[in-house]
Structure 1
Amino acid sequence: MSTSTAPSSDRPPIYRDPKRHAWLLSLLVPLSIGAGPLMWTAHPSHWVLWVPTVFVYLVAPLLDLLLGTDSSNPPEPAVPALEADPYYRWVTYALVPLLWLGFIFAAWFSQQPGLSTADRVALVLATGGVGGFCINLGHELGHKRTTLERWLAKLILAPTFYGHFTIEHNRGHHRDVATPEDPASSRMGESIWRFVWREMPGAWRRAWALERARTRADGQAVWSLHNEILQPMLVGLALWAALVLWLGPQVLLFLLPTALWANFQLTSANYVEHYGLLRQKTPQGRYEPCQPRHSWNSNHLFSNWATFHLQRHSDHHAHPLRRYQSLRHFDEAPQLPCGYFGLFPVAYLPPLWFALMDRRLVESVGRDPDRINFDPRRRTRLMARHGLAQPAPASPHSSASDLPARSTP
């Protein structure tokens, strides 16, 4: 971080973002799809199509380890100018057509002769991983208020048919996050393989319930072009229909698993971001406002550059309208041991995930079981394993107002 003081003491310091040019790394994401096919064309070996997946799950975590973390924050007086700088918006705008082209290129390459089943699996994983970046970009753009950015979010979510995400995430997940009511918040003791069966259908149902309520309140028909779930769905249908007409119906054998793996990347992120954290209820029976302590945070440099600071998730949930370049580190936020690229494969092995994260979770909440979102089936066993005391039963004559107030950071 570097600042220079203006000659006049009345002027705020001029802030120069040290990560400014690093955000261009995100534009290289689509090239990760092309790297494998280009090497395969030059030297048709089965292993080359695995290079993008190996990079994401092995090389990227190593880069995080080598580059370390950065907990610096932009000074608040500089944030309005930082958020108004069009450079950061143009980076996200430019990525939309690049990701679309990458997706279409991968669909074309998947139909080339000479590919083995293993080759096609590698291509599905690489393209689905990039589809996960599509959802991440849709997450950043979908939170913004401009019409252009909200439409770009719909376009980038369309290739993998996850257009309901913006509705579900903005109006559902942000409202219910870190509570048992949220299908997108994982619970302590819940494996990702159980979580996905709760998260994916739960997100779909909640998105439709929210959009049905909105269209009715606005006097619009739910089955119309006013429906913001149907809009990106129609774009996705048009894209897939064009690919089928061009490449033949067999391309669906590539598109379907690719979309599923792409959407599972969001499940993986949701699983990591709020694992076991719980907002408490006030005496009035409402959940406390979302605070930085209700999301897991990571300041690892490379993975944050590649995901538009998604890993500074604590500030995002506390202040969802802040743009990626302005998101901050908070000392009170629980910290992940590494970035998402390293944690996702750990999450896919539940015993390893529980060994890595459960004790970290318990310590992050001060060993207070009232601040843990437990899997109800495993609550008693987990509390015994970690030596957590059961809360004393309330007296039948006591009320919530008689209980001592709990301090918050």
Structure 2
Amino acid sequence: MSLATAPDPAVPYVDRKRHAWVLSLLVPTLVGLGPVLYRAWPMTLMLWLPVIFVYCVAPLIDLALGADTSNPPEDAVPQLEADPFYRRVTYALVPLLWGAFVYGAWFCMRTPLTWAGQLAIVMTTGMVGGFCINLGHELGHKKSKLERWLARIVLAPTFYGHFTIEHNRGHHRDVATAADPASSRMGEGIWRFALREMPGAFRRAWQLERARMKVDGLPFWSLHNELLQPALITVALWTTLAAWLGPQVLVFLLLASLWANFQLTTANYIEHYGLLRRTEADGRVERTEPRHSWNSNHLFSNWAVFHLQRHSDHHAHPMRRYQSLRHFDDVPQLPNGYFGMFTIAYFPPLWFALMDARLVAAVHSDASRINFHPRRRAALMRRHGLVDFPT
């Protein structure tokens, strides 16, 4: 894999995005924007503006700003990784996201709204919950106890505390294989994928943690269980909110959490669509490389998701922090950032029309590198003029 053109080593490296990451702290204001506008102009449309912005306007901003393919020089990476500034931004975002999630519940329960207005707040709060999962992803990959605990805390509002176990120990091991419930297949629509991925991820997390506890000689039902730790935080939060706002808030929390968790499912869907790691002659699966993930360098959405869209480097080097993730020239590239791809993914015929030919081109028409939906494999191979796997 080749990297983008490196900076001149004679010039000291300066991270041009350094202070832009502070703006990530504004993400939780999505929940407050709709209510503020609604107070000034009491129309339900005001409550939908944050949703419209994320799924419709943000993709246009990505297209307007274009892509940033610059990389930090490797000799500057240790300094970047050690700089506490980047960690402090993620630490500060944890309580802000919690506050935004709670505010969404309070506003919906205490404000007379139409069903359409309630749905808008559910989706907006769910989007914030999706950013909770994204932040939990960044923090959960780190070695420090503080960051791992912050990951559990920020995943708790949406009852998705099993994510770090499933993602770190399961998805990264099985990614881009038929065995991975979190890797989508060519010809598989997102709605079918969600029915496979969401329960499959939870089952895998349960199995992985049960196996770890057994190896460590610990009882499964104990506070050493990393599934139960965030779950107890969730129960405490939801119980407190029910006592404060009434038991009806539980319906809101379930719906907002479902939408938040579906944002993670959608990210999984687009990140590895149709890409396959081949099984070698000795039965071992080839190592994960940057070409086994779809990548995007679109500026606006990458800023909002802490470079999650540089997913190729993340899977090849999962311990790298967000500020030092790199672009590669010759890996599969998405035509828009995640927000735009999310919207397209919700319409499977549109997704297939946009992505299937790109997938075939990305693997250079090598069918042995495509993870097909089993029932659609033959039809897709005929449609795209592919030959069968080599024997």
- After superposition, give the CA deviation of every residue in 1:32-55 in whole Å (9 maximum; x if it has no partner): 110001111222111000011011
Between the aligned partners of 2:109 and 2:132, the Cα distance in structure 1 is: 22
RMSD of aligned residue pairs (Cα, Å): 1.3
Between the aligned partners of 2:69 and 2:190, the Cα distance in structure 1 is: 29
Between the aligned partners of 1:163 and 1:80, the Cα distance in structure 2 is: 30
**2:295 alignment partner AA:** N
Match in the other structure for 2:125: 127
Unpaired runs of 5+ in structure 2?
A: none
CA contact (8 A) 1:3 1:14 kept: no
Match in the other structure for 2:314: 316
1:372 aligns with 2:370: yes
Secondary structure at the aligned position of 2:173 is classed as: helix
Between the aligned partners of 2:78 and 2:389, the Cα distance in structure 1 is: 45
CA contact (8 A) 1:142 1:149 kept: yes
| Deviation, structure 1 residue 5 | 7.2
Between the aligned partners of 1:235 and 1:5, the Cα distance in structure 2 is: 48
1:118 aligns with 2:109: no
Match in the other structure for 1:232: 230
CA contact (8 A) 1:188 1:275 kept: yes
Match in the other structure for 1:398: none
Q: How many residues align?
A: 387
Secondary structure at the aligned position of 2:125 is classed as: helix
Match in the other structure for 2:305: 307
- After superposition, give the CA deviation of every residue in 1:254-285 in whole Å (9 maximum; x if it has no partner): 11100000000000000000000000111110
**1:135 alignment partner AA:** I
Secondary structure at the aligned position of 1:374 is classed as: coil
- After superposition, give the CA deviation of every residue in 1:203-233 in whole Å (9 maximum; x if it has no partner): 0000010000101111111111000010000
The partner residue of 1:334 within 332, 335, 355 is 332
Between the aligned partners of 1:158 and 1:248, the Cα distance in structure 2 is: 20
Between the aligned partners of 1:24 and 1:152, the Cα distance in structure 2 is: 18
Between the aligned partners of 2:362 and 2:68, the Cα distance in structure 1 is: 20
| Deviation, structure 1 residue 292 | 0.4
1:344 aligns with 2:342: yes
CA contact (8 A) 2:65 2:300 kept: yes
Using CA pairs under 8 Å that are at least 6 residues apart, name the structure with larger relative contact order, 1 or 2. Answer: 2
CA contact (8 A) 1:298 1:312 kept: yes
**1:14 alignment partner AA:** P
- After superposition, give the CA deviation of every residue in 1:171-224 in whole Å (9 maximum; x if it has no partner): 000000000000000000000000001101110000010000101111111111
- After superposition, give the CA deviation of every residue in 1:373-392 in whole Å (9 maximum; x if it has no partner): 00000000000011111235
1:34 aligns with 2:45: no
CA contact (8 A) 1:278 1:294 kept: yes
**Residues 129-208 of structure 1: matches in 2 within 5 Å?**
129-208=127-206
Secondary structure at the aligned position of 1:328 is classed as: coil
Secondary structure at the aligned position of 2:13 is classed as: strand
- After superposition, give the CA deviation of every residue in 1:151-171 in whole Å (9 maximum; x if it has no partner): 000000000000000000000
Between the aligned partners of 1:197 and 1:326, the Cα distance in structure 2 is: 34
Secondary structure at the aligned position of 1:334 is classed as: coil
Between the aligned partners of 1:88 and 1:223, the Cα distance in structure 2 is: 36
CA contact (8 A) 2:279 2:286 kept: yes
| Deviation, structure 1 residue 112 | 2.1
Q: Which moved more, 1:310-319 or 1:50-59?
A: 50-59
Secondary structure at the aligned position of 1:249 is classed as: coil
Match in the other structure for 1:266: 264
Unpaired runs of 5+ in structure 1?
A: 7-12, 395-409
Deviating 4+ runs (over 2 angstroms): 1-6
Secondary structure at the aligned position of 1:16 is classed as: coil
Provide closer, same or farther for how the CA distance between residues 358 and 147 of structure 1 changes in structure 2, counting only shifts above 3 A.
same
Between the aligned partners of 2:205 and 2:388, the Cα distance in structure 1 is: 36
Larger C-alpha radius of gyration, 1 or 2?
Answer: 1
The partner residue of 1:107 within 105, 108, 111 is 105
Match in the other structure for 1:76: 74
| Deviation, structure 1 residue 252 | 1.3
Between the aligned partners of 1:179 and 1:208, the Cα distance in structure 2 is: 20
Provide closer, same or farther for how the CA distance between residues 376 and 20 of structure 1 changes in structure 2, counting only shifts above 3 A.
same
